[in-house]
Amino acid sequence: WANSKDGKNAGYQELKTKPKSLIPHPTEPDFVVNAYFYRLNSEETLQHLQRKFGSEYHQQKHPSVGTLLAAFFHYYAYEFDYKHHVVSLNATMAHGKVEREVKAEHDTWKVYGQGLSIEDPFETFYDVAHVVKASNFHRIRREFALAYTKMVDAATGNNHHWSHMPQNIGPTMSGSEILDWICEPLPKDTDDSNTS
């Protein structure tokens, strides 16, 4: 992703259909929920997945988990239009984004007044972010921007932004060191607004 022309190409791919594991809703008689989760049931399956997704071939053809995570942080910090769209697993390239006005009309969601709307993946009529206040929403976006900046700086070795940073900032950092750096709290005397 760091070498791509626009810095955003994460090699995104979609499945044409979701796996089906339909479960009747406990309180709504005619409402069915797709509750599919992939559960590893054997060590052999785990080893097969590790062989398939850990090979050099895979790393050349598909983006790494780190690349996908950086693309996620960038997209939700800088690109996603929170005023007009809803964060949804049902938003695909083929079907387009889920619009806020459509959710307001079909499921009586608020159109204005809150920054973040997240559609529950199973009960699509429910906005799981209805409790997020505007100040917390802006903090979430700042944290996404901060995480993206830290990942880019770790990949490129750029360390001029940080008053507090790991000793070995740069491409030699392990994934767990980068995650630890992203998740560490800012010192109390530091103003986080100049780093995001």
Could you read off the pLDDT of 139-191 as tens digits, one per residue? 999 999 999 988 888 888 777 667 666 767 777 788 888 888 888 887 665 44
In which band, very low, low, confident or very high, does the pLDDT at 42 lie, cut at 50, 70 and 90?
Answer: confident
Q: 21: helix, coil or strand? A: coil
Q: What is the pLDDT of residue 142?
A: 93
- With a pLDDT cut of 90, the percent of the chain lying above it is 11
Domains of the chain, by residue range, sit at: 63-194
Contacts of 157 (CB under 8 A, 6+ apart): 169, 170, 171
Can you read off the two tokens belonging to residue 22?
Answer: 């339909």
pLDDT digits (tens, 9 = 90+) for 80-124: 888 888 888 887 777 778 888 888 888 888 777 668 889 888 888
Residue type, 38: Y
Q: What is the pLDDT of residue 34?
A: 60
Phi, psi of 87 (to 5 degrees): -70, 125
Burial 68-83 (b: 16+ CB within 10 A, else e): ebbbebbebbeebebe
pTM of the model: 0.63
pLDDT at 5 over 50: yes
Sort 143 into a burial class: Cβ within 10 Å, 0-12 / 13-18 / 19+: middle
> What pLDDT sits at residue 176?
83
H-run or E-run covering 48:
helix 43-53
Report which residue type is found at 106. Answer: H
Burial degree of 147 (CB within 10 A; 0-12, 13-18, 19+): buried
